[in-house]
Amino acid sequence: MGNLRSNWSKGTIIAVVVVTFLFAGIFVSNYFQAKAASKESNNLQKNKDTNLPVKKSVSPETIVRNTKDLKSEKERMQKQQEEALHQRNEQEREISKVPNNRTPDTEAQPTTKDKTSSQPPSKKSNAAPDKANITQLRNSGKKIVYLTFDDGPAPFSGQIIKQLEKYQFKATFFMIDGNIKRYPESVKLMVESGETIGLHSVSHSQKEFYKSKETVLSELNQNRHTLKKVSGVNSYIMRTPYGSAPKMTDEYKQAVKEKGYIMWDWNIDSKDWYYKDKRYVNSVIDQIEQMKHHNGPLVILLHERKETLAHLPKLLDYLKEHGYEGKPIEKSTEPVQF
């Protein structure tokens, strides 16, 4: 009887211990579950307060779709930017458009009222050169280059002059009558800067200019009077539209010579009127390399174009590095003709 009571007491104790541990386990489990739920609730509230989305699992398909949408949006924005840039460039070209030397139908409005003009360094008349005083540069040993700009002046003539001054170069500008009247301040700046200014017709049309020796002289006279009225310079230095060959006949040449005009062509065509980009510089350099043994000055044909201005520093760098002096044409300079 005593042994049974003792055994029962041990069993009771074991049962009590087991039950105690069971309740303790349930309590601990409930405690951690309640704590986890409380933490999740706090996180949800925090996300709500800060307007941050609750993280969700994202499928691979959704990631691919979102990436494609982002790429499409970037492409659309880039296309809009390119279109806006193109429109701005077109507007810029329209504002600063100048007649192209190689377009036969380019017309400048002739008028008897002169508003603009250009002049060489000296305000004396650029009459025909005295043969005894002609500069014989081809025998001087100097590397002389004459940069000549046709079809101006233009709104950006001052920028061309600024680049020339940076390299200590001077140039000659052959200008159309109508453009002289449109941009008188550009002409005056050329005069003040010591550039040489010359004549380049009224119509700039082969059909109109070369009709007869009378039309040739008429356009040159009007062009000269316009230039003189603005600048006070009576310049006889001239270049015919598109050069003297083949339209300037012997009769025409004799007529202009008798009136004291000094006709200039060129021996290097930059073809900036054709390339309209930096390739014209390479064209000039190639031609200079081919004329290494040329005994005399180089006369480079350029035009007052924005594209020519944009790449002018590259050409001036080359000329400067190879020892060329950029000179303006003077009335005593022996002309280069075809």
Query: Which residues are tagged catalytic?
Result: 150, 303
Distance of CA 170 to the CA centre of its chain: 22
SS (H, E, C) the chain: CHHHHHHHHHHHHHHHHHHHHHHHHHHHHHHHHHHHHHHHHHHHHHHHHCCCCCCCCCCHHHHHHHHHHHHHHHHHHHHHHHHHHHHHHHHHHHHCCCCCCCCCCCCCCCCCCCCCCCCCCCCCCECCCCHHHCECHHHCCCCEEEEEEEEECCCCHHHHHHHHHHCCCCEEEEECHHHHHHCHHHHHHHHHHCCEEEECCCCCCHHHHCCCHHHHHHHHHHHHHHHHHHHCCCECEECCCCCCCCCCCHHHHHHHHHCCCEECCCCEECCHHHHCCCHHHHHHHHHHHHCCCCCCCEEEEEECCHHHHHHHHHHHHHHHHCCCEECCCCCCECCCCC
Nearest to 119 by CA among 25, 42, 233: 233
Neighbour-count burial of 192, counting CB atoms closer than 10 A to its CB (0-12 exposed, 13-18 middle, 19+ buried): exposed
Q: Which residues pair with 175 in a beta bridge?
A: 152, 199
Dihedral angle computed from the Cα positions of residues 116, 331, 164 and 100, in that order, rounded to the nearest 10 degrees: 50
- The CA radius of gyration of the chain, in Å to the nearest whole number, is 42
- Of 224, 177, 185, 180, the closest CA to residue 202 belongs to 177
